[in-house]
Amino acid sequence: MGQNIVEKIIARHLMEGQLVPGGEIGIRIDQTLTQDATGTMAYLQLEAMDVPRVKTDLSVSYIDHNTIQIGFENADDHRYLQSIARKFGIVLSRAGNGICHQVHLERFGKPGITLIGSDSHTPTCGALGMLAMGAGGLDVAQAMAGEPFYLICPRIVRINLRGKLTSWVSAKDIILKVLQIFTTKGNVGTVFEYGGEGAAALSVPERATITNMGAECGVTTSIFPSDEMTRVFLRAQHREADFRELQPDDDAIYAKVVEIDLAELQPLTARPHSPDNIGTVRDMKNIAVDQVCLGSCTNSSYKDLVRVAKILKGRTAHPAVSFILAPGSRQVLENLARGGYLADLIAAGARLMENACGFCIGNSQSPQSGAVSLRTSNRNFPGRSGTMDADVYLVSPETAAAAVITGHFTDPRDLGMVYPPVEMPEKFLIDDSMFLRPDNADRVSEIHRGPNIGAPPKNTALPDTIAAEVTIKVGDKITTDHIIPAGARMKYRSNIPKYSEYVFENVDPNFAHNAQKIKTAGKQNIIVAGVSYGQGSSREHAAICPMYLGVRAVIALSFERIHAANLINFGILPLTFLHSGDYEKIDQGDDLEIANVRKLIGAGTDLLIINKTKGCSFSVACDLSARQKQIVLAGGALNVRSENK
């Protein structure tokens, strides 16, 4: 029987389990990446593992998120990361070098290999025909220590791209269409494998826009074949030697095949406040625009920005529009500059930001109150921009450029311009001098630890009876941005007691206080949620900080993959309602009791929850593999490691 691309890669990396969708497998990881906002915690955990050097083929630590550096905290974290990289044999990508996913695609990704990264957009590198997945920092640390990465063996959905894109419609519109079809929920345990003549015609950076935002569907990852386009890209990166072809077999089997006709697509937008709230740009009926942000790891490639430079050449940003430009990498910026395109963008009024995450994570360029902001990034969750009442729309670079000119939502086809062609350089100008390669001679070095950096907290073993209060009841599609905000709070990523003060800050500002009170009274906290709990970021702080506040279980209608893994890693039970009606009956403040927890978890049977306040009971499922049971019983993965020593 033939294999698809994903099966081919998994088969070559399988260490535990069977290549059968639905069961847990452990795979060998060739490369890892971390970024600074999740990296400090990942490396603190790696330090606790007692391994002298990383065991992967390549591990890269990027500094790209917290580069605004107000206060000492971020700069201290950067120093810590630099010293850790030297000690453990990790490549450090210095602040200023660019956004991890864009840089990894340019300089390190290779067809056929595996990559995990402590960032949910790690699937970006799927554009090169590699199996690239987001994970919590602890999972990445374990992979660096040479251990398998565990995941549910995915079901593979083939997305067949037919036909050809028309002028002014681009890769962002393809992934917005995919989001319209699949939405942001219900895709756990799935991988999107792209193919068809439409896919073959897309360049690697265009494919990367699509694999990047597959993360918004909640899939394990997305992948393209490795073909002539891949070779062209790698050659342009002076890395043709890394090329190898990777195609599905002719008789490969897929769980489902979905067809998208590229010729039928039109400019689309994700309206506030979810990446799957899709509409056509034309239907936005001239909504006035206050801000346009061009960049992020989704659409900040050379091709994207040259296209915008050509559209804007000789024009000036509309007086009502604040036009923000953040190139994805130093390579993109330098190539733009040397090609003269940067000058055109600056002349058009672009406010040039650092080539880093910046506006995308809300740690700069928050728009005015009630603003309409058009962004080429990948998430428009409420408050993520840093302005709670702003309306953020996700759009293609072409649609963004049109709004810069007109000051309102404009279908770029209505600009009356000829769609400017973009030639990709045969060879990019490459300068790797902002990578610090580990020097083998310098193995023993001092680790810099600023006052903001604390030890990763550990949970206690799972008690036999959970006596708890429902500290919060939330609805569907709660993102990790809701659970623990980023933006201005990101500088506390290495300081769990401080960061924990902000858990659910924008949903219930009293959450942290109430949780502490319940914990001090000797009880546990329980979070109750609807479907798709834990969408978005991979930040394990969305598990660590609630754990620190005494949360022992989350009862939800369904969970997203990375967040569920993070909860387990820190000893928090992910419990699933068996009947949606039970979700309706429970309220914040209810007293719950779960007896015989250890025994029932061990046996893999449903748990009975008694709602003492309401005088009723209901059952929940706790579907865990044998490995995961051991972790939750011990109160977290770090505890299992100490027990096994």
- The footprint of ligand MIC (CB under 6 A) covers 37-38, 65, 119-121, 134, 361, 486, 536-539
The whole-angstrom separation of Cα 40 and Cα 47 is: 10
The whole-angstrom separation of Cα 282 and Cα 265 is: 12
Nearer to ligand MIC, 82 or 494 (CB): 494
Q: What would the DSSP string read from start to end of 178-239? A: HHHHH-SSS-TTEEEEEESHHHHTS-HHHHHHHHHHHGGGT-SEEE--B-HHHHHHHHHTT-
Nearer to ligand MIC, 387 or 538 (CB): 538
Tallying the residues shown for the chain, one arrives at 645
Number of residues binding to ligand SF4, judged by CB under 6 A:
11
Nearer to ligand SF4, 99 or 400 (CB): 99
The whole-angstrom separation of Cα 158 and Cα 255 is: 8
CB of 360 to ligand SF4, least distance (A): 3
CB of 490 to ligand MIC, least distance (A): 7
Nearer to ligand SF4, 101 or 519 (CB): 101
Q: Which of 361, 503, 515, 518 binds ligand SF4 (CB under 6 A)?
A: 361
Nearer to ligand MIC, 38 or 611 (CB): 38
The whole-angstrom separation of Cα 384 and Cα 392 is: 9
CB of 425 to ligand MIC, least distance (A): 28
38 binds, among ligand MIC, ligand SF4, none (CB under 5 to 8 A by kind): ligand MIC
Q: Which of 296, 331, 364, 566 binds ligand SF4 (CB under 6 A)?
A: 296
The whole-angstrom separation of Cα 598 and Cα 534 is: 25
558-597 residues in contact with ligand SF4 (CB under 6 A) are none
37 binds, among ligand MIC, ligand SF4, none (CB under 5 to 8 A by kind): ligand MIC
207 binds, among ligand MIC, ligand SF4, none (CB under 5 to 8 A by kind): none
CB of 519 to ligand SF4, least distance (A): 31
Nearer to ligand MIC, 63 or 404 (CB): 63
296 binds, among ligand MIC, ligand SF4, none (CB under 5 to 8 A by kind): ligand SF4
Starting at the earlier edge strand, list the strands of the sheet with 221-223: 221-223, 190-195, 155-162, 256-261
Nearer to ligand SF4, 34 or 82 (CB): 34
The whole-angstrom separation of Cα 376 and Cα 357 is: 12
Return the closest-CA partner of residue 109 out of 9, 17, 16, 214.
9
The window from 221-229, 355-363, 439-447, 620-628 that contacts ligand SF4 (CB under 6 A) reads 355-363
CB count in 10 Å sphere of residue 214: 28
Helix (H, G, I), strand (E, B) or coil at 425: coil
Cα dihedral 596, 598, 604, 610 sign:
positive
Q: What would the DSSP string read from start to end of 604-616? A: T--EEEEETTTTE
91-110 residues in contact with ligand SF4 (CB under 6 A) are 99
99 binds, among ligand MIC, ligand SF4, none (CB under 5 to 8 A by kind): ligand SF4
Helix (H, G, I), strand (E, B) or coil at 12: helix
143 binds, among ligand SF4, ligand MIC, none (CB under 5 to 8 A by kind): none
CB of 64 to ligand SF4, least distance (A): 6
Nearer to ligand SF4, 5 or 361 (CB): 361
Nearer to ligand MIC, 327 or 485 (CB): 485
Residue 56 contacts ligand SF4 per CB under 6 A: no
CB count in 10 Å sphere of residue 29: 28
CB of 491 to ligand MIC, least distance (A): 12
Q: What is the helix (H) or strand (E) element at residue 158, kind and residue range?
A: strand 155-162
Nearer to ligand MIC, 122 or 410 (CB): 122
538 binds, among ligand SF4, ligand MIC, none (CB under 5 to 8 A by kind): ligand MIC
Site string for ligand SF4, 371-390 (x = CB under 6 A): ------xx------------
Name residue, tokens 């499922």. 621
CB of 387 to ligand SF4, least distance (A): 16
Q: DSSP state, 71?
A: S
CB of 360 to ligand MIC, least distance (A): 6
Nearer to ligand MIC, 148 or 275 (CB): 275
Backbone angles phi, psi at 30, to 5 degrees: -85, -40
Residue 119 contacts ligand SF4 per CB under 6 A: yes
Longest Cα pair distance anywhere in the chain, in angstroms?
A: 72
Q: Could you tell me the CA-to-CA distances from 19 to 123, 134, 139, 190 in Å, in that order?
A: 20, 20, 21, 14
| Strand extents, DSSP E, 7-81 | 14-16, 24-27, 31-35, 58-62
Q: Which of 125, 336, 360, 565 binds ligand SF4 (CB under 6 A)?
A: 360
543 binds, among ligand SF4, ligand MIC, none (CB under 5 to 8 A by kind): none
Give one word for 97, left, alpha or beta, with left for phi > 0 and alpha for psi -120 to 50: alpha
The whole-angstrom separation of Cα 61 and Cα 126 is: 19
Nearer to ligand MIC, 307 or 493 (CB): 493
The whole-angstrom separation of Cα 40 and Cα 31 is: 18
Q: Which residue ranges make up the site for ligand SF4 (CB under 6 A)? A: 65, 99, 119, 121, 296-297, 357, 360-361, 377-378
